Amino acid sequence: MTKSTTTFKIIAGALTIWNLMGLLSFIGHLSMTAEKTAALPQAEQELYNNNPSWMKFVFGVAVITGLAASVLLFLRNKLSVSVFSVSLIAVLIQMNYNLFFTNAIDYYGAQAVVMPIIITALAFFGWWYSRKELL
C-alpha cells in the first residue's frame, strides 16, 4: 500500500464519517416531536419552529448526497464529483439561509457562524478532493 493510497483512504473515510454524522443530525431533526421541541431553550425553539419545511428537504439533499459522494469517493467512482457538486450546492443554500435569513447570530453570537463555515469548507473540500483525485 502506497502512502497516497493510505492518505486517500483516510480522507475518504473521514469524509464518509463526517457525512454519516450529518445524516444522523438530519434524522434527529426529522424526529423532533412537539414535546422535544418544547424542551429546547426558547431561542432554539424559535429557530426550529420558524424553519421552513423546504429547508428540511435541502438539509436532506445535502447530507444524503454528501454521504453517497463520500462512499463513491472511497470506491474511486468518478460519479463522486457530480454527487459532491449537488451536496455542495445544497450546503451553500442551507448555510446561507441559516446565516442570513434567520436570527441564529442574534441568539448564539459568533458561535452561530462557526459550524456553517466548517460544514461549507468540508463540503467544498470533498468536491475539490474528488475532482483532484478522480478526474
**Sequence spans of domains, the chain:** 3-134
List of residues 6+ apart from 108 with CB closer than 8 A: 43
Tens-digit pLDDT profile for residues 41-74: 887 888 888 889 999 999 999 999 999 999 999 9
Q: What is the mean pLDDT of the chain?
A: 92
**What confidence score (pLDDT) does residue 12 get?**
97
Tens-digit pLDDT profile for residues 5-25: 999 999 999 999 999 999 999
- Split at pLDDT 50, 70, 90, the class of 3 is low
Nearest alpha carbon to residue 123 among 97, 93, 98, 102: 93
**What confidence score (pLDDT) does residue 108 get?**
84
**What confidence score (pLDDT) does residue 38 get?**
85
In the predicted model, is pLDDT for residue 2 greater than 70? no
**What confidence score (pLDDT) does residue 95 get?**
95
In the predicted model, is pLDDT for residue 111 greater than 90? no
How far apart, in whole angstroms, are the C-alpha atoms of residue 34 and residue 66? 29
* Nine-digit cell string for 83: 454527487
How far apart, in whole angstroms, are the C-alpha atoms of residue 54 and residue 64? 15
**What confidence score (pLDDT) does residue 43 get?**
77
What percentage of the chain exceeds 90 in pLDDT?
70
> What backbone torsions phi and psi does residue 32 show, to the nearest 5 degrees?
-70, 115
Measure Cα distances from 86 to 5, 35, 135 in Å.
26, 34, 17
